[in-house]
Structure 1
């Protein structure tokens, strides 16, 4: 669980909280098939830790997205709140 003031968050939780995936199981499957990179490094670990400033490259069905993490959320919020968690680079 992400405690207030914590400076890391699991990759699978971030993907759900930022609304890139609907559930953690979908997020885990996306990561395990190699569709996610953290700071240009491929990862297949849903439990990888993220920090503000990390850059994610996501190969989603809608296309490739490259985003910089700005905030680590504590829970899944509205779509408007989710878009404030990251900045699209590409």
Structure 2
């Protein structure tokens, strides 16, 4: 549904005032994507996938008796999630 000219003008004025009053908030709002998963949901999904895949690789490495495969599984299952959490934590500190 399209906005009328007056409504578009009012919306542009509100956006302009917001950018003047709180530029940081305006910048964060401009990066929002409608109908998209939040970054938190994507991070949790990535953590779960890494953990499950790593656990499966460790199980396969144990089954075939291969130490290198087990080590790779541990890195994928524990190392990657740790790096992801660390990166997200550092990003929030900024």
Relative to the length of structure 1, the TM-score reads 0.20
Specify which structure has the higher proportion of strand: 1
Larger Rg: 2
Specify which structure has the higher proportion of helix: 2
Taking CA–CA contacts closer than 8 Å with sequence separation of 6 or more, which of the two structures ends up with the larger relative contact order? 1
Relative to the length of structure 2, the TM-score reads 0.20
